[in-house]
Amino acid sequence: MKRYRRWLMVGLLGLPVLCGGLILLSAVSNIGLPQQSAVVDRLGALEKAQLAEAIQLRGAVGNAVWPGWGDAAIPVLLWNEQYAFLVGHPAPPPGWEAVPDDDFFGAPYYRQVARDPQAFAVRVGDVWAASMATREWMPLALHAEVRNDLPEFLKPLFPYRLVTRVYTTDWHIAAIQHESFHAYQAQTALERLRAAENTVRSGEARYLWDHAEFQADWAAELKLLQQAVQAASDAEATDLARQFLAGRTLRRQSVELSPDMGNYERQREWLEGTAKYVELQAWRAGATTPAYTPQPALTADRQFKDYRGYQQRLNEEIRHLTRLKLDQPGDSRFYYSGMAQALLLDRLAPGWKDRAFDDGVWLEALLAEAVN
Overall average pLDDT of the 5-33 stretch:
47
pLDDT at 201: 84
Q: Are 74 and 130 in contact (CB under 8 A)?
A: yes
Q: Go through the chain and tell me how many residues it has.
A: 372
User: What sign does the CA torsion over 165, 169, 174, 176 have?
Assistant: positive
Distance separating alpha carbons of residues 308 and 310, to the nearest angstrom:
6
User: Letter for the amino acid at 42?
Assistant: R
List pLDDT tens digits, range 38-55: 999 999 999 999 999 999
| Cα–Cα distance list, 41 to 109, 114, 231, 319 (Å) | 12, 11, 50, 40
Cβ-in-10-Å burial (0-12, 13-18, 19+) of 17 comes to exposed
**Domain layout of the chain by residue ranges:** 45-187, 190-371
* Nearest of 207, 188, 155, 209 to residue 274 by alpha carbon: 188
List pLDDT tens digits, range 360-371: 999 999 999 999
pLDDT at 153: 59
Q: What pTM does this model have?
A: 0.90
The backbone region for 23, taken as left when phi is positive above 0, alpha when psi lies in -120 to 50, beta otherwise, is alpha
